[in-house]
Amino acid sequence: TLHGVKLSALTQQIAYQAIRNTKAEKHPPRSSASNNLARIQAGLVEQIEHPETTAQIWLQCQNTNLRPLVRQFLYKAIQHAYRIGDFWTPIAGYEERAVCPFCKDSADNLDHILLECEAPAREVIWLLAADLWPDAYGPWPSINFGTVLGCGKLSTHLPNLPDHRSNASRSTTPSDDDLPPRPHPGASRLLQILISESMYLIWVLRCERVIQQRTHTIKSIISRWTNAMNRRLHIDRIMACKIKRSPKDTKKVTATWKGTLKNESNLPSTWASHPEVLVGIRPP
């Protein structure tokens, strides 16, 4: 029952939210999910200046800057839904599955897979992502549990430009040092794409290595990561010039991939809206 709401003022959104709140009271969040959310909040503090609520972290699973498969992975990862690591410890006869088959002495939990495993794929992929990050956007952020599983909430800012105003102008208006850093939508979107695609590829390669017993050479890892980035760039261009067809979306694609393209200085300024122009990220 929804108390205190006039039927004439009731909307589907209000009713649906009330139903969700009622269900949430009957079914509290899983302790493992709550622990993951707390770790994500703590990790994000290093990258963003304002703390994120648990509701905002869940909303990143609807962030359209991330591919649907990546969003599904994030949701399951936060919910601790994957049968890895400590999941197998109490199951008789399957205890060996709890241990990383590559490191031999560590639990094969998600934080180990994405951040600590000594398998070549993890280290190579994070190095590739950091290498593609343009120097103009500042240093590459530290990779931790929060920035990885909270990648949909990451943002970055441009440094304030030097103050070239006259002395009279400076006395009447605040200096650039007093102003908050300017948000950069293009750089923030690129950061979300780089971390989310790299994270998901590390997970995919781990599953191939552990479940399918496949091995990956350094060359194949670099090729898989480069193909993933180029595929994402191609999808962005198709969405901008063939599906949405708006200058706003074309500018968003241009701002996102600026500083990451191969032979970028030789590309036409309208490359994002012309799919016939061959465009790819610069090689590592």
Q: How many CA atoms lie within 13 A of 112 on its CB side?
A: 17
Domain ranges (residues) in the chain: 29-156+181-273
Dihedral, CA atoms, 109, 111, 115, 116, nearest 10 degrees? -40
Q: Give per-10-residue mean pLDDT for the chain (284 aa).
A: 75 86 80 92 84 90 94 96 94 94 93 95 97 93 93 82 49 54 86 97 97 95 97 92 82 94 91 85 89
**pTM for this one?**
0.86
Phi, psi dihedral angles at 88 (to 5 degrees) = -90, -10
The residues facing 107 across adjacent strands are 99
In angstroms, the CA 181 to CA 13 distance is 35
The two structure tokens encoding residue 91: 């199951």
Rounded distance, CA 110 to CA 207, Å? 12
Q: What are the backbone dihedrals phi and psi of residue 158, each rounded to the nearest 5 degrees, phi first? A: -80, 145
For residue 38, the tally of other CB atoms under 10 A from its CB is 12
What pLDDT sits at residue 61? 93
Amino acid 15: pLDDT: 87
Residues 10, 2: Cα–Cα separation, whole Å: 10
Q: What is the per-residue pLDDT for 173?
A: 52
Return all residues near 152 (Cβ < 8 A) that are at least 6 apart: 59, 60, 61, 63, 65, 66, 71, 74, 192, 196
Give the model's pLDDT for residue 46: 78
- Cα 119 to the center of its chain, rounded Å: 22
Cα distances (angstroms) measured from residue 65 to each of 88, 149, 275? 34, 14, 20
182 forms bridges with which residues in the sheet?
158
> What is residue 4's predicted lDDT score, i.e. its pLDDT?
73
Q: What pLDDT, on the 0 to 100 scale, is given for residue 115? A: 96
User: How far does CA 235 lie from the centroid of its chain?
Assistant: 17
Residue 165's pLDDT is what?
Answer: 47
Which pLDDT score, from 0 to 100, does residue 201 have? 98
Q: CB atoms < 10 A from the CB of 13, how many?
A: 8
